[in-house]
A and B are shown apart, each in its own frame.
Chain A
Amino acid sequence: MAEERRFLSASGVPIALRRRQHSASCRELAVRGPRLQLRSLSAATSAVWLAAYGLFALSENSMVLSAAIFITLIGLIIYLHFVKIDQESLLVIGSLGIQVTSSYASGKESTTFIEMGHVKDVVINEAIHMQKVIYYLCILLQDPEDPQGVSEVVPLFQSSKPRLDCLIEVYKSCQEILEQRKTAPQSS
């Protein structure tokens, strides 16, 4: 069963949180940011080409125009493939682990899977980002030597940056599944 709710991100853009429960111990939470707008794309392209045409008028060298087209194409491909993140999702499977996926606008998906044995807890943290203080959700990884220590902090939803209300929903869903591993008998 899936449900979708709208929230705002830390910078004010509308984002959508989609929750799906696949089974009693498996949940998927996906935060979707706004898609690439045709307006901004055309604005950027026109600006680059106007500048190139101005340079061409000054220098009478046609290489400037072909270079501008080349730069626009390459820049667009790089932006779609490496920069623009459409959706960030969290798949929590009790007793297996937590999977964090970022899907880019070009369709590329980059996934990390963290085994449940390495996960200490999922918490909401505060951070100073530029001139703001924002909340972010992160996974605390267990230190193998020190049972009370934390070896690494993995921040989630870094590009969509949801606000506290959205984070609380995600936090509650994760904690329901993480609690199950405490009630179940320890299986190291």
Chain B
Amino acid sequence: MVLKVFFPSCCSSADSGILIGRWISEQNSVVVLAVVHFPFIPVQVKQYLGEVQRVTKVSVSVLGSWSNSKQEKEESLSEFLEDLGTIFCHEPWIQISKEGDSKFWSCSILQKHSKNPQEEEIILVYYDQRKVMLSHLHPPLDTAGQRAEDASKLSAIFGTVARSQVLFMTDRYNEGPIKLTHWQSDGVEASIIVELLKQASVPACMLLTFLLSLLSGICKSRVLKFWPLSFLWSKLSTCEQLGHRLQHLQVISSSKKAQNQNQLMRKANIFVSLLIDVALGILLMSWLYRKNRIGHLADTLIPVADHVAEELQDLLQWLMGAPAGLKMNRALDQVLGRFFLYHIHLWISYIHLLSPFIEMILWYVGLSACLGLTVALCILSDIIALLTFHIYCFYVYGARLYCLKIYGLSSLWRLFRGKKWNVLRQRVDSCSYDLDQLFIGTLLFTILLFLLPTTALYYLVFTLLRLLVVIVQGLIHLLVDLIDSLPLYSLILRLCRSYRLAAGVKFRVLEQQDGKPLRLLMQINPLSYGGVIQTYRLPTYSCYPRDSWASLCKKLFLGELIYPWKHKGDKQN
């Protein structure tokens, strides 16, 4: 049987004393937490350990003796240390001794009630106490994607050190009866700034909660729930993003303390993400308002809208002629083309009506960029949607016309073959038609069939334009989602204090000497950046894509309207 002793590297130069820590019998390993120095009174030591056990729920006990003799080994000392074993009866009693400055220590085990008196091999594993205490072990994901929460051996060791924090609070300047050596025994460290921030955060949180409750009260008021306004709010992505950020603020300002590591990291991630977002937004705002760039932007907006409308008019003239050499049905072509041209004319008139107010509107809307870069990007996406509204309208007209035509064609094709769609049974049945029904049906079928290329071409052109706009909007939303969900605090932690996020441990074999126990150094193996992002990603409010490619193509072919981006709150069609 192999006995593993986890020894903190900070205690390597401690004076002689007794070892306290935890004995994990299932793994046959010993975790040494501190060294208690002479002189001490055994009763007081036991009392102290009892208190520590009560507070931390970790079964801390006296494990053995540690002797660090600067000169040669004294025989009387070794007998004294063995006698200690009888006072603190612990099974097994471990004796570690270090001579002078030698790296190679000798360990021995005293077993009084051992069943099989064989020589146990001892492995000495050094660990950095402070890093192990602060680190959080992430067990690997198993195939189901769930984190295995079973008792991994390493997590027992990490848990023991992490929960014994109260043991490390007494340092050598304390006037108590017990003198300990551990990683903090040279003096407990704390940062004034951190303490001040902790004190200041309580009233700040309360103020924030009050303001947020006011704000959410206003948002939920009946005034804003009337039909045109509520429809508008649901369509504008800016409102969704603002609602999302409001939720985040509520999470941060809640006065409940975080229960576990995950909640703490989530709060910290949201806080840092909001901070960076607002900082970037203010940067953007200062860039826009310097040298009156926003005025220039507003000035170029109308000419750009005009240019787009002119390009559309040219496109329609091209379609009304002989596009790509195809021969269109003259009458239908003229009707559709004139209809769309009139639409564009209306649109240009509206834009020109608005042109004196555009600069002012844009100036005030640009101010809202101080709420965050994500809000600014959402506003940009909404402006694009508003400016290309006529393309959306054309797409809807073209799609509806095409859809009607396809349905008409399919139904008349069934009539042509003598069949009918049975709505009750949801299948195609044969049916006997009258002669005049057949005659008119075939006539209509022929008309629709020969008018199909014209309608199909208009539908194709406007669908492509609409898809272009959708792709641009989609890219902007992707960027917004990226900023929303990136766990910046965790990434910075991984960069600067990589031992806090541990994926596991790694062992390094130190110099060995025959006859002495095996010496290993346990270091923390940090989580990879991909693992950090996967574990600590913040949830967002949208998920795409809504349709698979196959169903998207089917919808396009049939002329059904497509809405590629789905939001979590939407009901399924």
Residues of A near B188 (CB, < 8 A) are none
Write out, one digit per residue, whether chain B residues 388-410 have a CB within 8 A of any chain A CB (1) or not (0). 00000000000000000000000
Query: Is there an interface contact between B507 and A25, defined as CB atoms closer than 8 Å?
Result: no
Do A22 and B512 touch (CB < 8 A)?
A: yes
Let me know if A187 is at the binding interface, CB within 8 A: yes
* Shortest CB distance B504–A (Å): 5
A37 within 8 A of B: no
Interface string of A148-159 (1 = CB under 8 A from B): 000110000000
The 8 A CB mask of B502-528 against A (1 = contact, 0 = none) is 001111010010000010100001000
Complex alpha-carbon distance, A91 and B28, angstroms: 21
User: Taking the nearest CB of chain B, how far is it from the CB of A49, in angstroms?
Assistant: 33
B121 touches A23 (CB 8 A): yes
Binds B, one of A8-16, A60-68, A80-88, A92-100: A92-100
Contact (Cβ within 8 A) A188 B121: no
How long is the Cα–Cα vector from A91 to B2 in the complex, in angstroms?
Answer: 17
Whether A26 pairs with B518 at a CB distance below 8 angstroms is yes
Interface hits, A131-181 → B, CB 8 Å: 144, 151-152
Q: Is B123 an interface residue (CB 8 A)?
A: yes
Contact status A95-B509, CB under 8 Å = no
**Residue-by-residue, is B136-164 near A (CB-CB < 8 Å gives 1, otherwise 0)?**
00000011000010101110000000000
Interface residues of A in 19-76 (CB under 8 A from B): 22-26, 28
B143 with A151: CB separation less than 8 A: yes
Asked if A144 and B150 sit within 8 Å, CB to CB, the answer is: yes
State how many angstroms separate the Cβ of A182 from the closest Cβ of chain B: 13
Whether A111 contacts B509 by the Cβ 8 Å rule is: no
Q: Chain A contact residues (Cβ within 8 angstroms of B): what range?
A: 20 to 34
Q: Indicate if the CB atoms of A115 and B152 lie closer than 8 Å.
A: yes
B121:A187 contact, CB within 8 angstroms = no
> Within 8 Å of chain B (Cβ to Cβ): is A117?
yes
**Residues on the B chain within 8 Å of A96, using CB:** 4, 123, 125, 507, 520
B121: A residues at CB distance < 8 A: 23-25
Q: Which of B520-553 contact A (CB under 8 A)?
A: 520, 525
Contact of B518 among A22, A101, A151, A185 (CB under 8 A): A22
Q: Which residue of A lies closest to B504 (CB)?
A: A113
Cβ of B13 < 8 Å from any Cβ of A?
no
Binary interface encoding of chain B residues 1-26 relative to chain A, with 1 for a CB under 8 A from any of its CBs, else 0: 11010000000000000000000001
**Which residues in B have their C-beta under 8 angstroms from that of A24?**
121
Q: How far is the CA of A91 from the CA of B123 in the complex (A)?
A: 14
Contact of A184 among B2, B125, B512 (CB under 8 A): B2
CB pair B509 A25 closer than 8 Å: no
Query: Of A93, A101, A117, which is in contact with the most chain B CB atoms at under 10 Å from its CB?
Result: A93
Chain A residues near B525: list those with CB within 8 A.
Answer: 111-113
Q: Assuming the A-B contacts A93-B520, A117-B153, A187-B1, are A28 and B504 also in contact, with contact meaning beta carbons closer than 8 angstroms in the complex?
A: no
Residues on A with C-beta less than 8 A from B512 are 22-23
| B2 pairs with A111, CB closer than 8 A | no
Residues of B within 8 A of A25 (CB): 2, 121, 123, 518
Bound-state CA distance A94–B394 (Å) is 73
A113 / chain B contacts, CB cutoff of 8 Å: 504-507, 525
| B355 contacts A by Cβ under 8 Å | no
The answer to the question of B213 belonging to the interface, with a C-beta cut-off of 8 Å to chain A, is: no
State the CA gap A173–B507 with chains docked (Å).
Answer: 19
- Bound complex: CA of A142 vs CA of B139, how far in Å? 15
Please determine whether B148 and A111 come into contact, CB atoms closer than 8 angstroms: no
Q: B27 at interface (Cβ–Cβ under 8 A)?
A: yes
Shortest Cβ distance from residue B86 to the other chain A in the assembled complex, whole angstroms: 27
Q: With A23-B512, A184-B1 in contact, is A144–B148 under 8 Å at CB?
A: yes
A183 to chain B, nearest CB (A): 10
Give B161 Cβ to nearest chain A Cβ, in Å.
17
The 8 A CB mask of B25-46 against A (1 = contact, 0 = none) is: 0111000000000000000000
Contacting B at CB under 8 A, from A100-119, are 101, 111-113, 115, 117
- Roughly how many angstroms separate A188 CA and B123 CA in the complex, as a whole number? 18
Docked CA distance A144–B507 (Å)? 24
Smallest CB separation, A181 vs chain B (Å): 9
Q: How far is the CA of A93 from the CA of B517 in the complex (A)?
A: 13
Complexed CA–CA distance, A101 and B143 (Å) = 23
**If the complex has contacts A151-B142, A151-B143, are A93 and B123 also in contact, measured as CB distance less than 8 A?**
yes
Smallest Cβ-Cβ distance to A95: which chain B residue? B2
A96 CA to B6 CA in the complex, in Å? 12
Are B509 and A22 in contact (CB-based, < 8 A)?
yes
CA distance A112 to B28 in the complex (A): 23
CA–CA, A91 to B506, complex, Å?
A: 10
CB-nearest residue of chain A relative to B509? Answer: A22
Chain A residues closer than 8 Å to B150, beta-carbon distance: 144
Closest 3 CB pairs of A and B: A111-B506, A23-B518, A95-B2
Of the A-B pairs whose beta carbons lie under 8 Å apart in the complex, a sample of 19, sorted by A's number, is A25-B2, A25-B121, A25-B123, A25-B518, A26-B520, A28-B509, A96-B125, A99-B506, A101-B506, A111-B525, A112-B504, A112-B525, A113-B504, A144-B142, A151-B142, A151-B143, A152-B143, A185-B1, A187-B1
